[in-house]
Structure 1
Amino acid sequence: MPTIALLGTGLLGEAIGQRLLQQGLSLRVWNRTPARCNSLLEAGATAIGDLNGAAHGCDAVITVLRDGAVTAEVVQALGPLQGTTVIPMGTMGVGESRALATQTAEQGGDYLEAPVLGSKPQALNGTLLVMAGGSDAVFARHQGLLKHLAETPQRVGPVGSGAATKIALNQLIASLTHSFSLSLRLIQQAGVPVETFMEILRPSALYAPTFDKKLQRMLDGEYSDPNFSTALLRKDLLLFLSEAADQGLKADGLQGVAALLERASDTELDAQDYCALHELTQ
């Protein structure tokens, strides 16, 4: 039975841990706030008290942490990583992931970035979308593990390609949410019934399923119980803008969305579902 160390048991990390336990894997868990591991401990996981040496005897270390800097710090604290593969599933920059791969190698371990698209519901039923970056050999070795979380995990290329794919997708979350919010505001102010607008939109090439997924929340102004928060959306959009600038891409059109999201900082919107962006477009 594979033994996995899971570092980071927030909303997504906890769901990933529950899924791995349900699939019969042996799980060790850690979070900076230990109480956030309680549900996993009750489900059969073992607590990691000290990070130093915690990777010993583990087939893989999965990290689901806030960003690249935090992930690098936590992985460094593990010490020697011989016989272990570090698999970060959180969102980080391309350069951050490549630097973490180098760091992991210096600590004696292997590395496979595997950011995911999806949140708690998809993690619990094993339908996350996994975009892995790393060598064919390391991906093949851990494909069985990834299949517990995704129906068809994909290797998209070398280290850095998975990170790039993830932030490219998260940029679409911001762009689509913002554009849909603006369209809703405009048609409502013009007196067009929302359902009439949706009946025209749904069969068109312009439609994205996320529009219906978030429509009722936007109409009701109800953004509690998020699977992905406004604060995390802002972080990831800023990360995309940084990567775009490094690549010489013209992303000026996104600067306005980023500025809009900055208005949520230090407000109740930050901890709410990211479609609370709708409150900022009026």
Structure 2
Amino acid sequence: MTSVAILGTGSLGKAIAQRYLNEGVTVQTWNRTRERLRLLLELGAIELSNLFEVTAKCQVVITVLRDGPVTAKVVRELGSLQNTTLIPMGTMGVSESKNLAKQVIKQGGSYLEAPVLGSKPQALSGNLLVMAGGDVTIFEQHYQLLNYLCKRPKLVGPVGCGAATKLALNQLIASLTHSFSLSLRLIQQAGVSVETFMEILRPSALYAPTFDKKLERMLHRHYADPNFSTSLLRKDMTLFLQETAVNGLEDLGLKGLVQLLNQAKGTELDAQDYCALHELTKVSE
């Protein structure tokens, strides 16, 4: 039976672990906050009491941690990665992923970045989108594990390509949400019915499903129970800005959006659903 270690059991990591358990995969899991393991242990996961025992029990280690620096720190604590493949699924910068790959190789292991698009519902149903970066042989070796989470996992290129693809997609999340918020604000101020606006928008080439997904949250200011928070969105947009600087891209518009997201720091919006940025586009009173 396949056995995999999952390090990091926040909302997404927990859902990924649940999906594997439902598919008959033996899941060994770890989190610095032990309370977050309770549900998984009740479902049959095996607790790893410390990081040193991870690679002795599992040849595949999946990390679903907040960012690149945290992931690198945890991986260092694993010690030797001999005969082990590390598969980070959290969002990282391109250079962060490349550096982590070098670190893993120095520790004796192999590396396959596999960031995912989607959140808890998609993870539980096996409908995440996986964009892997790494060696084709390693990708094929672990294809079935990825296939439990995604109908058609894609190898988009060598290490760094997966990270770049994920950042590009998350940039669209931020920009589409921001532009939709501004449009809603304008039509409401002008006295146009939101329903009428949506009836015009939906059949047009401008429509994106995320608009309807977030519409009710924005209209009713319901940002609780996030699958992806404002603070994480800001973190990813900051990473994207780092890549624009490296690649010589014009990023003036995105800088303005990051400045807007910075206004959420230290407020309740930071821990809420990312569409809470709608609160930041409101007309000044």
Cα deviation for residue 33 of structure 1 reads 0.5
**How far apart in 1 are the matches of 2:53 and 2:194?**
57
The residue aligned with 1:56 is: 56
**How far apart in 2 are the matches of 1:53 and 1:99?**
24
CA offset digits 1:132-173 (Å, max 9, x no partner): 000010000000000010010000000000000000100011
- Answering whether residue 220 of structure 2 is matched by residue 255 of structure 1, we say no
Cα deviation for residue 199 of structure 1 reads 0.8
- Answering whether residue 36 of structure 2 is matched by residue 36 of structure 1, we say yes
Cα deviation for residue 62 of structure 1 reads 0.2
The residue aligned with 1:136 is: 136
**How far apart in 1 are the matches of 2:156 and 2:84?**
22
The residue aligned with 1:8 is: 8
SS at match of 1:132: strand
Query: Do the aligned residues in 2 keep the contact of 1:55 with 1:78 (CA within 8 Å)?
Result: yes
SS at match of 1:171: helix
SS at match of 1:62: strand
TM-score normalized by the length of structure 2 = 0.98
The residue aligned with 1:150 is: 150
The residue aligned with 1:167 is: 167
SS at match of 1:227: coil
Cα deviation for residue 53 of structure 1 reads 3.3
Cα deviation for residue 59 of structure 1 reads 2.6
Query: Do the aligned residues in 2 keep the contact of 1:60 with 1:84 (CA within 8 Å)?
Result: yes
- Matching of residues 14-33 of structure 1 within 5 Å: 14-33=14-33
**How far apart in 1 are the matches of 2:186 and 2:195?**
14
| Number of aligned residue pairs | 282
- Matching of residues 42-121 of structure 1 within 5 Å: 42-121=42-121
Query: Do the aligned residues in 2 keep the contact of 1:2 with 1:59 (CA within 8 Å)?
Result: no
SS at match of 2:86: strand
Unaligned runs of 5+ in 1: none
Cα deviation for residue 2 of structure 1 reads 1.2
Q: Percent identity?
A: 67
Cα deviation for residue 246 of structure 1 reads 1.1
Cα deviation for residue 52 of structure 1 reads 1.5
Unaligned runs of 5+ in 2: none
The residue aligned with 2:279 is: 279
**How far apart in 1 are the matches of 2:26 and 2:53?**
17
SS at match of 2:6: strand
Cα deviation for residue 19 of structure 1 reads 0.4
Cα deviation for residue 56 of structure 1 reads 1.6
TM-score normalized by the length of structure 1 = 0.99
**How far apart in 2 are the matches of 1:238 and 1:96?**
13
Query: Do the aligned residues in 2 keep the contact of 1:87 with 1:112 (CA within 8 Å)?
Result: yes
The residue aligned with 2:246 is: 246
